[in-house]
């Protein structure tokens, strides 16, 4: 009986993947570019890649290329001769840049039906969402007793040299925070950054390097996600690090993956995108990526009660980002360089 049950489960898993066994387009390999935290020993990769290899029979070559912004840059550099099949980390804020570069190829997974419409940020299906979250300032409650309650609060003298941010030109969270300031202050965002400058200790090139400085005690405030405290509660049994709730709302990030145009292993790439929306992959997200899973059918653990759920969610449209981000970033460089 047990053998029959195991066989049925295996058949069900395989049924969710495209038929590619023996396909001449693949040599049994899949190459994925991703960001550092996904590929790290504590990231999603060690949990989900072996599971995918087991059910698919494919060998995955996972290449970490820095931040999510750097993942896209690498794909753009190799546009004419792509070496990878899938890129992980293209979010709703990088979508405009990815579209403009022309590096991605559309693919609509059947699993997308399990994702709420509000999270399907790319109607062309060049990018498939797999998780989401909200940017937030995380603070060390042993150092800060009165946390900021707004973006404007961060400019207070009380937080001088206390804030760690990420570069919006290389980091997904960095871009998210930058767009957060644009969504709140509009075309006056540069004036805000000028006021914010005295509070900034450093601007790192990636989230992982910035958050590492924070946990090492270099500064009591860091840009991260409203769900970041979940990690410390679940794995360190500590509620020391908390997310500050901002009254103007929090900027939303929807994280996705896409298949590169001209991918050497197209069928294998489609299989992986399908797998990302499977129960096997989605159930690992809350306590590994420390984000909300895209599939509405995935339950959240009790530790997510420590994640701030903003009353107001902020976003800018990909079209606006596409047409204005280059000019905005040029203005930003001038503001932070003063």
Residues in the chain: 338
CA 131 vs. chain centroid, Å, equals 7
CA 226 vs. chain centroid, Å, equals 13
Confidence band for 337, pLDDT divided at 50, 70 and 90: confident
**Which range has the worst mean pLDDT, 237-251, 268-282, 314-328?**
314-328
Query: Higher confidence at residue 10 or residue 217?
Result: 217
Tokens at residue 18, please? Answer: 């495209």
Confidence band for 1, pLDDT divided at 50, 70 and 90: very low
So what's the pLDDT on residue 290? 94
Confidence band for 170, pLDDT divided at 50, 70 and 90: confident
Q: What is the 3-state secondary structure (H, E, C) of the chain?
A: CHHHHHHHHHHHHHHCCCCCCCCCCCCCEEEEEECHHHHCCCCCHHHHHHHHHHHHCCEEEEEECCCHHHHHHHHHHCCCCCCCCEEEEEECCCHHHHHHHCCEECCCCHHHHHCCHHHCCCCCCCCEEEEEEEEEEEEECCCCCCCCCCCHHHHCHHHCCCEEEECCCCCHHHHHHHHHHHHHHHHHHHHHHHHHHHHEEEEECCHHHHHHHHHCCCCCEEEEECCHHHHHHHHHCCCCEEEECCCCCEEEEEEEEEEECCCCCHHHHHHHHHHHCCHHHHCCCCCCCCCEECCCCCCCCHHHHHCCCCCCEECCCHHHHHHHHHHHHHHHHHHHCC
So what's the pLDDT on residue 21? 41
**Predicted model pTM:** 0.84
Q: Is 69 left (phi over 0), alpha (psi -120 to 50) or beta?
A: alpha
pLDDT (tens digit, 9 = 90+) per residue, 33-75?
A: 999 889 999 899 999 999 999 999 999 999 999 888 889 999 9
Q: In 10 A of CB 280, how many CB atoms?
A: 16
Confidence band for 25, pLDDT divided at 50, 70 and 90: low
Q: What angle do CA 325, 248, 221 make, to 5 degrees?
A: 80
Cα separation, 116 vs 200, in Å, equals 37
Confidence band for 258, pLDDT divided at 50, 70 and 90: very high
Q: What angle do CA 148, 326, 168 make, to 5 degrees?
A: 35
So what's the pLDDT on residue 7? 39
CATH of domain 133-252+307-336: 3.40.190.10
Q: Where are the domains of the chain?
A: 2-132+253-303, 133-252+307-336
Confidence band for 212, pLDDT divided at 50, 70 and 90: very high
For residues 312-335, give the mean pLDDT: 92
Distances (CA, A) of 322 to 93, 98, 250: 9, 10, 21
So what's the pLDDT on residue 66? 81
Cα separation, 148 vs 153, in Å, equals 5
pLDDT (tens digit, 9 = 90+) per residue, 268-317?
A: 999 999 999 999 999 999 999 999 999 999 999 999 999 998 989 999 98
pLDDT > 70 in the chain, percent: 92
pLDDT > 90 in the chain, percent: 79
So what's the pLDDT on residue 208? 86
Mean of pLDDT over the chain:
91
Cα separation, 41 vs 19, in Å, equals 31
Cα separation, 61 vs 47, in Å, equals 15
Query: Which of 225, 168, 218 lies closest to 193, judged by CA?
Result: 168
So what's the pLDDT on residue 68? 81
So what's the pLDDT on residue 13? 43
31 Cβ contact list (under 8 Å, min separation 6):
60, 61, 63, 83, 84, 85, 86, 264, 265
So what's the pLDDT on residue 14? 42
- Please check whether the two domains, 2-132+253-303 and 133-252+307-336, share a CATH topology: yes
For residues 124-149, give the mean pLDDT: 97
pLDDT (tens digit, 9 = 90+) per residue, 2-17?
A: 334 333 434 444 444 4
Homologous superfamily, domain 2-132+253-303: Periplasmic binding protein-like II (3.40.190.10)
């Amino acid at each position: 009986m047990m053998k029959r049950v195991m066989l049925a489960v295996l058949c069900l898993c395989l049924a969710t993947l495209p038929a590619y066994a023996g396909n001449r387009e693949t040599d049994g390999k899949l190459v994925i570019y991703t960001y550092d935290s996904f590929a790290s020993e504590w990231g999603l990769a060690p949990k989900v890649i072996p599971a995918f290899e087991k059910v698919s029979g494919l060998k995955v070559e996972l290449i970490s290329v820095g931040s999510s912004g750097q993942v896209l840059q690498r794909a753009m550099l190799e546009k004419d001769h792509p070496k990878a099949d899938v890129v992980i980390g293209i979010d709703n804020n990088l979508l405009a840049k990815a579209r403009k570069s022309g590096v991605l190829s559309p693919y609509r997974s059947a699993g997308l039906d399990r994702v709420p419409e509000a999270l399907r940020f790319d109607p062309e299906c060049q990018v498939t969402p797999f998780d989401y979250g909200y940017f937030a300032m995380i603070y060390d409650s042993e150092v800060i007793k009165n946390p900021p309650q707004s973006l404007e609060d961060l400019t207070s003298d009380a937080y001088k040299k206390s804030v760690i941010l990420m570069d919006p030109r290389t980091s997904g969270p960095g871009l998210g925070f930058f767009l957060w300031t644009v969504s709140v202050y509009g075309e006056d965002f540069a004036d805000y950054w000028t006021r914010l400058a005295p509070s900034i200790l450093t601007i790192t090139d990636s989230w992982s390097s910035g958050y590492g400085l924070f946990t090492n005690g270099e500064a009591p405030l860091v840009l991260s996600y409203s769900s970041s405290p979940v990690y410390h509660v679940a794995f360190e049994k500590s509620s020391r690090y908390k997310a500050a709730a901002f009254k103007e709302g929090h900027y939303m990030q929807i994280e996705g993956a896409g298949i590169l145009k001209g991918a050497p292993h197209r069928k294998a790439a489609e299989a992986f995108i399908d797998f990302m929306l499977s129960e096997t992959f989605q159930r690992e997200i809350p306590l590994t990526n420390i984000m909300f899973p895209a599939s509405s059918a995935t339950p959240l653990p009790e530790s997510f009660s420590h994640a701030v759920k903003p009353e107001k969610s902020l976003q800018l449209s990909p079209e606006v980002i596409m047409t204005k981000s280059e000019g905005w970033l040029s203005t930003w460089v001038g503001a932070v360089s003063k």
